[in-house]
Chains A and B, each alone.
Chain A
Amino acid sequence: MEPLGLSLGLLALFVAFGFMVGVFFGFFGMGGSFLVTPALLILGYPAPVAIGSSMAFVFGTAVIATMKHHDVGEVDYKLGALMFVGIALGIEAGKVLVYGLEAIGRAELVVGTAYVLLLAAIGGLFVRSALRTGSEVTDDSSGDGNEEEIPEIATKIKSYNLPPMVTLADGSKASMWTISGVGGGVGVVSGFLGVGGGFIRMPAIYYLVGVPLAAAVGTSLFGALMSGAVGAFTYGLDGVVDLGVVTGLLAGSALGARIGSAATAYVDEDDVTIYFGVMLLLASFAVALGEFATWLEMPILDTMSFVLLVGSSAFVTVVIFYYGAQAVRTNDIDPTATARGDD
C-alpha cells in the first residue's frame, strides 16, 4: 500500500519530521523550510525535486501562518506587491542556476554545500545569542524595542532619491530599485535553496527598505506566501514537485506549529535557544556527512547523516515539550507571549 506514492514508513517519517519542523516554526518563528531541503537531499531526492517540494511546503506553511496572523499582523501589502516582480525574477534565476548545475551533475553538491554554510551560520548566530543572553544582564532601556523606529542605514538609503520613488503604507518613500533589489535578491536565495527566505527578507525590509519592525515582520510573511507560490508554480511547471512529500510534511507541520506556538506562552525562549543553535550546527554537519557519503561512496555516512538530522530535531522538540510540561505543572505562564510562525 503506497498512499500518495510513498511507502507507509516514509509517509510516517515525513509527517513526524514535518511535526518537528512545525514545532520549531511555531516556537522560534523560523526553521520552517531550511531543514526540509537538506533532509530531502540526504534521503536521495534530486536537487530540483528537493527544492521544488520545499517551495510548495513553504507555500502551505505561509498560508497557515497568514491565516493565524491575519487579524493581528501589520502588513504593507503595497510593498509586498511591489516586491512580487523581483521575487518572481529572482526565483526563476535561482531555478535556472539549479538546473544549470544539474546539467553538469553538480546541483546536489553545490546546494548541499550552500546548506552546510547556511545552517552553520544561522546555528552559530543562535548559539552566540544564547551565550550572550546567559552572560549579560538584560537592559530594557537600550532603546532597541521601538517598533515604529527605522534604523539609521535605512534612513540613509531612503535619502537617495533614485527614481521611480514609491510611497509606502507608512507615508515614507522608497526607491523602486531598492524594493526590486530586495525582492530579487531574496528570490534568488529562495529559488536556489528552496526556502521561504524570511531570515533574510525580514531584516532586508527593515534595514534596507526602512519599514518599521512590526510591519516588516508581517510584510515578510506576505513575501513568503508569494515566494512559496511562485517557487511551487515555477518548479511545478517542470513536474518536479512531489505532492506526497509536501502533504506528509504539511500534515505534521500544521499540528506542530500550533503546539510550538502555544508553547511560547509557557517556555522561555532563552532556555531552549542554545539547543536550537546546536541542532542547526549538527544539521550543518549532517549535510556535510551526506556530501562525503556521495563523494566517498560510503552509504553508512548517509545513514549517520539522516539519524543525526532527525535525532537532533527530535531532541530539541522533546526539550521544548519538557520545559512546557514543567511550566504547566508550576503554572508559570507568560501572558504577554504571542504566536510565532512568522516566516
Chain B
Amino acid sequence: MIEFASLSPAVQATVLLVVVLVEAVALYAGYGVVERAVAPPLIETIENA
C-alpha cells in the first residue's frame, strides 16, 4: 500500500496517478531504446537458426 499517511487522501490519490504516469512514460521510452538495440540482431538470429 502507499504510505503517505500525513497527506490528505486527495493528494495521495493524485501522487499515485502521477507516479503511474511517470512509470508508464519511462517504461515506454526505456523499452523503446531496448527494442531498437535488441530487435534487429534477435530477428537475424532467429532467421539464421
Whether a CB of chain B sits under 8 angstroms from the CB of A331 is yes
Q: If the complex has contacts A5-B1, A243-B19, A258-B35, are A233 and B14 also in contact, measured as CB distance less than 8 A?
A: yes
What is the chain A residue whose CB lies nearest that of B4? A239
Whether a CB of chain B sits under 8 angstroms from the CB of A297 is no
CB neighbours of A30 from chain B (8 A): none
What is the chain A residue whose CB lies nearest that of B9? A237
CB neighbours of B34 from chain A (8 A): 255
Q: Enumerate B11-49 residues with CB–CB distance to A below 8 Å.
A: 12-14, 16-17, 19-21, 23-25, 27-28, 31-32, 34-35, 39, 43, 46-47, 49
Q: Enumerate A113-154 residues with CB–CB distance to B below 8 Å.
A: none
* Chain A proximity of B26: nearest CB distance (Å): 9
Q: Enumerate A224-280 residues with CB–CB distance to B below 8 Å.
A: 229, 232-234, 236-243, 246-247, 250-251, 254-255, 258, 262
What is the size, in residues, of chain A's interface with B at 8 Å between Cβ atoms?
Answer: 33
Q: If the complex has contacts A63-B25, A239-B9, A239-B12, are A232 and B31 also in contact, measured as CB distance less than 8 A?
A: no
Give complex CA distance A262, B46 in Å: 15
B12: contacting residue among A236, A242, A251, CB under 8 A: A236
Whether a CB of chain B sits under 8 angstroms from the CB of A40 is no
CB neighbours of B27 from chain A (8 A): 64, 250-251, 254-255
Asked if A59 and B20 sit within 8 Å, CB to CB, the answer is yes
Residues of A within 8 A of B (CB): 5, 56, 59-61, 63-64, 67-68, 229, 232-234, 236-243, 246-247, 250-251, 254-255, 258, 262, 325, 328-329, 331
Nearest first, the 3 A-B pairs at minimum CB distance are: A236-B13, A254-B27, A63-B24
